[in-house]
Structure 1
Amino acid sequence: MLKSKKEQHWQRIFQLQTESGLNKLQFCKHNNISVSTFYAWATKLSSQPPKRTNKQKVIPLIFPETKSVQHLTLTLANSYQFSFPASLEPSKLQQFLSVLSA
């Protein structure tokens, strides 16, 4: 049996053992597998880096463009400052100023 075929064979055995619900010793006895061989292959296959079957895919991350928020700053004679977003409706700014002048 070729090396890769043996590896595939033992990987299938490990999969069957997991699916069986039996512990490793019970599975080996039930399937006439040498326990030492079972563990030797488990060690051998776990020490090998996993084979890559699929190439990595690049997934672009697109972040929405962030716009800097512009502010209007109103500084009063008494040094109080008020900052408003530049998108503030003029009528709202007018209401604010009328409250300040009252």
Structure 2
Amino acid sequence: MSPNKKEQHWQRVFQLQTESGLTKSEFCKHNQITVSSFYAWAKKLSVQPPQKLNQQKVIPLVFPETISDQQLTLSLPNGYQFSFPASLEPSKLQQFLSVLSA
């Protein structure tokens, strides 16, 4: 098998593993692939092991009494920033966060 064909084969293997919903170990066992080969090819092809989506979790915030003109700023890893009045009810903030995590 040519090097290019091997790379295509392993890229397809990684795609199938991601789509399978199985852990890497389970997928390898089910498909008779050694785990060491799986990770060696992942490293060789610079493929980051797939990460599950929506791994974010909401951490409750407790707001002490604040001056009404203070702002709460939420900064996300993707660069977006949201500002809210510090007097915002926690339930409203929770609703906003649930929309973001959907």
Q: Is the structural similarity TM-score above 0.5?
A: no
TM-score band, normalised by shorter chain: 0.3 to 0.5
User: How high is the TM-score relative to the length of structure 1?
Assistant: 0.45
Q: Which of these two proteins has the greater Rg computed from alpha carbons? A: 1
Higher relative contact order (CA 8 A, sep 6+): 2
User: How high is the TM-score relative to the length of structure 2?
Assistant: 0.45
